[in-house]
Amino acid sequence: MDAMDQTLTPTFDYLPISMLNQLEYCERRFYLMHVLGEMEVNAHVLEGTLRHAQAHQPDREQEGDKTIHRRLYVWADSLQVAGFADVVEEETGAPRLTPVEYKKGRMGRWLNDHIQLCAQAICLEERAGVRIARGYIFYFGSRRREEVCLTEELRQRTAQTVRRAHTLIGARQIPPPTEKMVKCRDCSLQPVCLPQETNLLNGQGNLQEVE
């Protein structure tokens, strides 16, 4: 049976997989976006959105012995997350599935993209009843596909991130700015978040830290 030919049932009120990426990057960013609905469209965000729109119209095509699924809706009841996988490669014969996530820029120092990919893989495993050993992240900036091994450690970290998301949502209190303020330089929400000003008001840091 085609592993991906399962009836897809829309699942509402599950945590969006993309929000795990935001949370792993910065808890305050996650809260601003997911709980308070803030979104700033800067050049980086716009580039990422356009690249996704160009590359990921929903479809399915055959490439040799592989079926390529694009923009596939997936969800996992175990994690209570749902969202879209950019690309899923399905090998004919052995039901082997490989998720591929597309990102602008180059591989960063943080695990946020890995967590997002791992959550997609866990969703696919639940939907198709297969085990997935690895996935890939394609970075437009370096035009490279980085292999991501879906280790037990990464799976546990992903589950922890989901639990942390529910804790933050339940706490109803915006987290403080990240201590790794180098992240703020690339963050589109800086004008809304005001990390330096917030730290100053809280008696921490100074206005030069992010510059």
* Shortest Å distance, C-beta 78 to ligand SF4: 29
By CB under 6 A, is residue 23 in contact with ligand SF4?
A: no
CA atoms within 13 A on the CB side of 124: 31
- The count of other CB atoms within 10 Å of the CB of residue 186 is 12
* Shortest Å distance, C-beta 200 to ligand SF4: 13
**Rounded distance between C-alpha atoms, residue 198 and residue 210, angstroms:** 12
Residue 58 has which token pair?
């929903």
State the binding string over 168-187 for ligand SF4 (x if CB under 6 A, else -).
Answer: ---------xx----xx--x
Which residues is 25 bridged to in the sheet? none
4, 28, 139, 150: residue in contact with ligand SF4 (rule CB under 6 A)? 28
Q: Are 31 and 19 in contact (CB under 8 A)?
A: no
By CB under 6 A, is residue 69 in contact with ligand SF4?
A: no
By CB under 6 A, is residue 34 in contact with ligand SF4?
A: no
CA atoms within 13 A on the CB side of 8: 15
**Rounded distance between C-alpha atoms, residue 206 and residue 110, angstroms:** 24
By CB under 6 A, is residue 11 in contact with ligand SF4?
A: no
195, 200, 202, 207: residue in contact with ligand SF4 (rule CB under 6 A)? 195
The helix/strand/coil state of 73 is strand
By CB under 6 A, is residue 21 in contact with ligand SF4?
A: no
By CB under 6 A, is residue 99 in contact with ligand SF4?
A: no
By CB under 6 A, is residue 190 in contact with ligand SF4?
A: yes
Please give the torsion angle defined by the CA atoms of residues 171, 176, 182 and 184, in that order, rounded to the nearest 10 degrees: 80
Cβ closest to ligand SF4, residue 34 vs residue 69: 34
* Shortest Å distance, C-beta 195 to ligand SF4: 4
Binding residues vs ligand SF4 (CB under 6 A): 26, 28-29, 32, 177-178, 183-184, 187, 189-190, 193, 195
